[in-house]
A = this chain, B = another copy of it.
Amino acid sequence: MTDRFAPRRSVKQVEEGTELAPKFDDEGLIPAVATDYHTGELLMQGYMNAEALSKTIETGEAHYYSRSRRVLWHKGATSGLVQTLRELLIDDDQDCVWLRVEVAGGASCHVGYRSCFYRRIPLGADADKVLEFTDTEKVFDPKAVYGDVPNPTKL
């Protein structure tokens, strides 16, 4: 599986080359950012291990590594909200990947919103410290979709 990834030999190779040489951190993970292909909206930020990145490349569907459940996570396997890749990019030092996706069902957030980013932080030294909801309508009912699956949010 990992014959897909080249060893990291030089800054020039990593930054200016055409070899896929991703940097996985000490826990074997690389951050992955998913945006909606059509709207550009940021849907979620997650992590992939080598297996998740390989599966994503091979299948064209987003796979992550769930840090809370410690398993390979085919996004949408439970909820049906599969992320189909239209484009996959990697950054300059190859320590982050960008998924441009179309989402079945139109939602990516386990709380039920379209995007995980549904609250705005007011800006300014004197700004109010109260988050503002940018989205108030849930696309689906998490209880109906996930049933008794434990909530992944950790305090």
A residues neighboring B (CB under 8 Å): 4, 8-11, 14-20, 23, 31, 33, 35, 39-42, 44-45, 57-60, 85, 87-93, 96-98, 109-111, 113, 116-125, 127, 129-134, 151-155
Pairwise interchain contact A18-B119, C-beta atoms closer than 8 A: yes
Cβ-neighbour of A14 out of B39, B60, B125, B153 (below 8 A): B153
- Return the chain B residue nearest A36 by Cβ: B40
Chain A interface mostly: loop
Whether the pair B129, A20 counts as a contact (CB closer than 8 A) is yes
Ranked 4 nearest A-B pairs via Cβ: A40-B40, A93-B153, A91-B116, A89-B117
Query: Which residue from B20, B91, B117 sits with its C-beta under 8 Å from A90?
Result: B117
Partner of A10, one of B91, B109, B155: B155
